[in-house]
């Protein structure tokens, strides 16, 4: 494909992703209304509009397969919102299946615009539902004592909503208002919102304004449990007229003169109408690569600022008067750079709800295929993470949830025999923890039996039969490549693939994974991740003649290492720090480096960690703190553990950035990372 044709496809993908994400979230909300029947008409209309937008978007770009499926989905949604079909589990499953096919089609276009797949199953399921509507469907408004002229201007959907309000015993009211032409949009929107708070706005119709060219009149047909007099009183504006067209008689009175019925706050009638070409939206869509480039520039500016600061200090040392002014300017530049960095980071942040809502669809489908009843609870969905971290988090979370559904959640009869509800629960939650975010996946299933883990580990030769292992050591077997407690292979598990991938992916994000479980009660997996990896403040250290950077968010304190402070326990060097034992790491041992220079008279311990895990890194020297932009080492060096990337320090000097999470895991198992 040519470069010129790639850009429009990219625009389609970005717009379609937003619409599909919106549909996924709204479908989840719609499914919650199956039991109580309390489906919001606004929600149904929003879903219908999204499906219609996807159809139009696909048609504009010539993607006929997406347009065809969207058209059928739109027809199904139209029957649902018109009351021709009832919302039930079968229909909801059909909607989710069609959404899955749409997502698959859109993802395929991102790889190859000509790629497609068979949608006949979804189309057939939709047609089956459309053909199943009752043959004795009748005119819902037949026999109602309502002005025919009013009914003639209503759409089929508006007629259905009118009937629904009558079925609920609501009043049908006609609220009349006249607004100045230069503020009618704002005033009408305010009145509409007020009426929605009292009931439902069924239709907005033109009214009569006695030939006043400076005004526009409207009639709003509403359904509400309040009487006309109550609505009139709650609106609090005598300029509005409230007419009861169906329901009990109302004591609301007509207002005196229509030419005085301008809404409160209207502008003078002789003011000129205002027209604007401004967009209603105040958002723009930005490619993340552009933000990456902007972050690179911020990093380069930070390096330049550091060099200017160094020059300023040198000039001050020589007693030059101008150095004071340079120092002041450097401080101003530093503050502005910090504000710029914060602003760029804010743009990169997205709520994790975007990811959680996508996982809801996967949970629903997989639970059906496994024959299990499962509900998803989402907490802390507004917690924000860097967009790139959210993207990289998708696969690990999917693996964890698949394991929870297959291994953790029991079948309905198993749960009932254990005294549980037949419906299992998976809870996805996110919460900020300082400069990190904890993402938790909890299930109320059967839990993990450590004895089964031990037996499987012995059978596969991973541990010795007489090995003394803690509960956490046994849980660690789950993250070994190829490990599985399943003897049989199913579509979802038993191949020994998944949790080792989870661990590797989380480590690549400089994160950690913790597991807790109780047999018969459930399992909790906690992923602790940095808020961002784009630009960080780091402590620069020196070890074995090489410089490294440690993310400052993981540095708890630094200690001068005096002789006699350390001791050896079970072959490992440790330090007693405030009544706790701190394992110590030597970078030359971890990375198998040979020292290029002798250590100075003093060494230091950098106490680093997050969550409840700590490690002491022995270094030869401590330098200053510095903002660094982390660059990936690439797939060719993905095997290097304990290193999260590289950072440009200026003067054409690049140093490695330590992955504290990886170092802690290395310390716990006493392993070697890789040659550096």
**What positions carry a catalytic annotation?**
52, 74, 403
- Would you list the DSSP string of 102-166? HHHHHHHHHH-TT-----HHHHHHHHHHHTTS-TT---TTTT--S-HHHHHTS-HHHHHHHHHHH
Cα 62 to Cα 12, 58, 104, 109, 110, distances in angstroms? 11, 6, 17, 11, 14
User: Alpha-carbon distance 608 to 554, whole Å?
Assistant: 5
Report whether 312 contacts 326 (CB < 8 A).
Answer: yes
User: Alpha-carbon distance 177 to 242, whole Å?
Assistant: 9
User: Alpha-carbon distance 286 to 600, whole Å?
Assistant: 49
- In the block, tokens 């979370």 appear at 397
Beta-strand runs (E) in 508-565 = 512-518, 522-530, 535-543, 546-551, 555-561
Beta bridge partners of 542: 547, 621
> How many CB atoms lie under 10 A from the CB of residue 569?
10
- In the block, tokens 């990936």 appear at 632
Type and span of the H or E element at 180: strand 171-180
Type and span of the H or E element at 44: helix 41-61
Closest by Cα among 460, 459, 370 to 408: 370
User: Alpha-carbon distance 530 to 440, whole Å?
Assistant: 14
Type and span of the H or E element at 238: none
Report whether 483 contacts 475 (CB < 8 A).
Answer: no
Beta bridge partners of 625: 539
Type and span of the H or E element at 309: helix 288-317
Q: Is 359 exposed, middle or buried (0-12, 13-18, 19+ CB in 10 A)?
A: buried
Report whether 165 contacts 172 (CB < 8 A).
Answer: yes
Report whether 289 contacts 348 (CB < 8 A).
Answer: no
Helices (H), 560-616: 587-590
Residue 30 carries which DSSP code? Answer: H
Closest by Cα among 649, 645, 670, 668 to 658: 645
Cα 336 to Cα 330, 340, 341, distances in angstroms? 10, 6, 9
Chain-centroid distance of CA 53 in Å reads 22
User: Alpha-carbon distance 106 to 116, whole Å?
Assistant: 9
């Amino acid at each position: 494909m040519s470069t010129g044709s790639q850009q429009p496809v990219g625009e389609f993908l970005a717009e379609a992703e937003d619409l599909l994400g919106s549909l996924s979230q709204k479908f989840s909300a719609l499914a919650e209304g199956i039991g109580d029947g309390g489906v919001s008409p606004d929600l149904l209309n929003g879903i219908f509009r999204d499906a219609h937008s996807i159809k139009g978007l696909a048609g504009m770009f010539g993607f006929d397969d997406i347009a065809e499926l969207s058209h059928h989905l739109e027809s199904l949604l139209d029957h649902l919102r018109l009351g021709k079909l009832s919302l039930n589990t079968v229909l909801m499953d059909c909607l989710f299946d069609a959404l899955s096919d749409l997502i698959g089609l859109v993802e395929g276009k991102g790889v190859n615009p000509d790629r497609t797949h068979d949608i006949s199953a979804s189309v057939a399921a939709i047609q089956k539902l459309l053909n199943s509507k009752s043959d004795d469907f009748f005119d819902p408004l037949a026999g109602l004592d309502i002005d025919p002229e009013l009914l003639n201007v209503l759409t089929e959907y508006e007629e259905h909503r009118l009937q629904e309000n009558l079925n609920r015993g609501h009043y049908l009211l006609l609220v009349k208002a006249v607004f100045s032409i230069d503020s009618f949009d704002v005033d009408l929107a305010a009145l509409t919102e007020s009426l929605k708070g009292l009931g439902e706005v069924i239709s907005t119709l033109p009214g009569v304004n006695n030939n006043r060219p400076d005004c526009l009149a409207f009639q709003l047909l509403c359904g509400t449990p309040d009487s006309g007099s109550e609505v009139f009183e709650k609106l609090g504006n005598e300029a509005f007229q409230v007419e009861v067209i169906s329901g009990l008689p109302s004591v609301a009175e007509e207002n005196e003169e229509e030419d005085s019925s301008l809404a409160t706050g209207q502008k003078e009638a002789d003011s000129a109408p205002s027209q604007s070409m401004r967009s209603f939206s105040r958002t723009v869509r930005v490619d993340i690569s552009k933000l990456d480039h902007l972050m690179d520039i911020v990093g380069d500016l930070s390096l330049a600022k550091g060099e200017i600061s160094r020059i300023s200090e040198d000039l001050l040392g020589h007693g030059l008067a101008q150095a004071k002014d340079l120092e002041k300017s450097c401080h101003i530049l530093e503050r502005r750079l910090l504000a710029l960095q914060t602003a760029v980071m804010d743009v990169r942040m997205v709520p994790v709800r975007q990811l959680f809502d996508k996982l809801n669809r996967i949970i629903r489908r997989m639970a059906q295929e496994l024959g299990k009843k499962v509900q998803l609870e989402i907490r802390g969905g507004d917690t924000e993470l860097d967009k790139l971290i959210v993207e990289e988090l998708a696969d690990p979370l999917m693996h964890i949830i698949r394991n929870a559904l297959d291994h953790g959640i029991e079948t309905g009869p198993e749960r009932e025999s254990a005294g549980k509800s037949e419906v299992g629960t998976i809870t996805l939650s996110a919460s900020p923890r300082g400069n990190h975010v904890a993402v938790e996946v909890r299930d109320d299933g059967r839990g993990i039996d450590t004895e089964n883990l031990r037996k499987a580990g012995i059978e596969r030769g991973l541990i010795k039969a007489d090995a003394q292992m803690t509960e956490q050591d046994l849980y660690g077997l789950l993250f070994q490549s190829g490990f599985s407690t399943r003897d049989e292979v199913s579509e979802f598990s038993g191949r020994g693939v998944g949790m080792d991938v989870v661990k590797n992916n989380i480590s690549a994000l400089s994160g950690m994974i913790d597991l807790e479980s109780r047999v018969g009660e459930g399992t909790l997996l906690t992923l602790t991740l940095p808020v961002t990896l784009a630009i960080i403040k780091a402590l620069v250290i020196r070890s074995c003649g090489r410089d490294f950077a440690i993310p400052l968010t993981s540095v708890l304190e630094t200690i001068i290492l005096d002789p006699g402070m350390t001791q050896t326990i079970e072959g490992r060097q440790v330090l007693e720090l405030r009544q706790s034992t701190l394992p110590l790491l030597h970078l030359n041992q971890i990375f198998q480096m040979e020292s290029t220079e002798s250590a100075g008279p003093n060494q230091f311990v950098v106490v680093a960690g997050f969550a409840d895990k700590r490690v002491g890194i022995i270094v030869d020297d401590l330098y200053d703190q510095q903002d660094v932009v982390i660059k990936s080492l690439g797939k060719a060096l993905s095997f290097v553990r304990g290193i999260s990337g590289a950072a440009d320090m200026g003067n054409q000097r690049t140093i490695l950035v330590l992955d504290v999470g990886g170092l802690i895991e290395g310390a716990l198992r006493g392993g070697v990372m890789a040659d550096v």
